[in-house]
Structure 1
Amino acid sequence: MPNLKVKPSGTHGRVTHVTPESAGWTYVGFDLHRLKPGESVSGETGDREVCLVWVTGKGKASAGTKDFGTLGGRMSPFEGAPHALYIPMESTWSVTAETDLELAVCSAPGGGTYQAKEISPGTHPQVTRGKGTNVRYVNNIMPEDDSSAHSLLVVEVITPGGHTSSYPPHKHDQDDLPNESFLEETYYHRLNPPQGFGFQRVYTDDRSLDEAMAIEDGDVTLVPKGYHPCAATHGYDLYYLNVMAGPKRIWKFHNAPEHEWLLKA
């Protein structure tokens, strides 16, 4: 199995590149570009669909023949919800940075007759999940109740320092609806302040997969199967951008039975 932690390859240009082939799976792809003002990045979707997420900064965007103008604006992923742009299969896209720009390219198999669509901040209201030191703040970008995509599910989460997230541990690695859906998943992590670190564990019931990782600013973690809780250390807030996709665009998870009591505590 490939290494479940992908470190950024530098500080400029395409610094992260995860493909189904490099991850050893079928559905999810993830790239992260860091651009200077005036620099551009473009792509062709082919048989895949794409969600561009303005993690930080501003940039002019086009998809196919449509000009979407300037998108983005926040200068930190910890400052409110993002701008995003959905692009269907068999299309092209281009983004030109107007400020320092951090652009995530989330991809999965395409299908249907979906159209390119801007997703403005606040399209989906922020949701608070958990209680006590399990509280975290969720900005849905492309949730399952938004029917404007074929495969992609995309969401941001802010976990305050000292809190846990994706917790109690849950998994979604069985195509067994209505009980559980099969979804591959990537986490793109950021820390505030950036010198911090957090932890993530990916493990299965039989422990045939059991990997605990220290996560630093800019790391991407892969979740091919199993439970995948995160912990933010004291003094450092944790941001992550999740990309999920599988054979069906449904997020139905299974909690670890031994930890499910925490939901009632």
Structure 2
Amino acid sequence: MWTKESLHICPDPGKSSGKLISIAPAEGMLEYLGFDVHLLKQGEELHSTNDTTETCIVLISGKIGFACDGVPVGQTDYRASPFDRRPWAFYASCKSSWRVTAEADSEIAVCSAPAQNQRKPFMVKPDDVAVETRGTGSNVRHVIDLMPAEKDIADRLLVLEAITPEGNSSSYPPHKHDKDNLPEESRLEETYYYHIEPDSGFAFQRVYNASGDLDVAMTPGDGDLIIVPEGYHPVCAPHGCELYYLNAMAGPKRVWKTTVHPDFLWLST
């Protein structure tokens, strides 16, 4: 049974470097999706070998260089904050090794999922993606799709950033993607990694299903992670709090199809 404690992951408040958050399918939390957050001091490196997984590394803030199989792929500019809407990311497929080098103190997220196909590594730069404004009224959010579902660039991973202005809802109307029932709905596990401006602020997020055996309301703060294993998962930004979240998703198929809660079909997305 999922509980608030298992869905709401908080970083170690005493750590100023190293791994802050880590979830992995092998640990029984999820079947497909892994997600880590690291703080790197200038000059530090992070490296790993992907045997049966693919990886998307997202620069939250700072400046990094990235190499795959010993070959440099690219270096970012400095990103002062995830709120600047200037995303940088790197992809490494299975059967490859990768290395991140911090050119300044940096925060990075490492999204991962099982994979079988070896692909070329690539870099996502700010000029490669657009900021899409979704919703109307008080349901506005600004979305940057780093790994769009319509592009054949990965086996399972879907990754995007979103900014929700104060007083607005997001991931709303409530929708879900927990059934492998294409073309109507796809099964995708999901994580929400938050930063909040100001960092003393918080968000509201509810994760619930139709049967009622999952219904958890949470108030994630700056640097917190929310796991969405199934069910509906709307988000709200209180007055005075601007929300950034990084979404990672993975499932049996790399397809994003959602079902809106029947009570909210009358609302515009």
> How does the TM-score come out when normalised to structure 2?
0.95
Matched with 2:39 is 34
Matched with 1:253 is 258
Do the aligned residues in 1 keep the contact of 2:208 with 2:233 (CA within 8 Å)? yes
Q: What are the ranges of 5 or more consecutive residues in structure 1 without an aligned counterpart?
A: none
CA–CA distance in 2 between the matches of 1:56 and 1:86?
17
Matched with 2:207 is 202
CA–CA distance in 2 between the matches of 1:42 and 1:215?
29
Do the aligned residues in 2 keep the contact of 1:51 with 1:107 (CA within 8 Å)? yes
Q: Percent identity?
A: 46
State which of 51, 54, 72 in structure 2 corresponds to 1:46.
Answer: 51
CA–CA distance in 2 between the matches of 1:156 and 1:228?
16
> How does the TM-score come out when normalised to structure 1?
0.96
1:237 and 2:242 correspond: yes
State which of 140, 147, 151 in structure 2 corresponds to 1:146.
Answer: 151
Matched with 2:10 is 7
Q: What are the ranges of 5 or more consecutive residues in structure 2 without an aligned counterpart?
A: none
Secondary structure at 1:21 match in 2: helix
Do the aligned residues in 2 keep the contact of 1:161 with 1:236 (CA within 8 Å)? yes
The answer to which of 184-193 and 63-72 deviates more is: 63-72
Superposition deviation, residue 13 in structure 1: 0.7
Secondary structure at 2:128 match in 1: coil
Q: Which amino acid aligns with 2:265?
A: E
Q: Which amino acid aligns with 1:257?
A: P
Superposition deviation, residue 168 in structure 1: 0.4
State which of 67, 74, 78 in structure 1 corresponds to 2:79.
Answer: 74
Matched with 2:95 is 90
- Displacement over 6 Å in runs of 4+: none
CA–CA distance in 1 between the matches of 2:213 and 2:227?
16
CA–CA distance in 1 between the matches of 2:77 and 2:232?
33
Structure 1 172/19 Cα, relative in aligned 2: closer, same or farther at 3 Å?
same
Structure 1 227/196 Cα, relative in aligned 2: closer, same or farther at 3 Å?
same
The answer to which of 64-73 and 227-236 deviates more is: 64-73
Superposition deviation, residue 162 in structure 1: 0.8
Do the aligned residues in 2 keep the contact of 1:203 with 1:211 (CA within 8 Å)? yes
Give the count of matched residue pairs.
264
CA–CA distance in 2 between the matches of 1:231 and 1:11?
29
Do the aligned residues in 1 keep the contact of 2:193 with 2:225 (CA within 8 Å)? yes
State which of 205, 219, 224 in structure 1 corresponds to 2:224.
Answer: 219
CA–CA distance in 2 between the matches of 1:221 and 1:11?
21
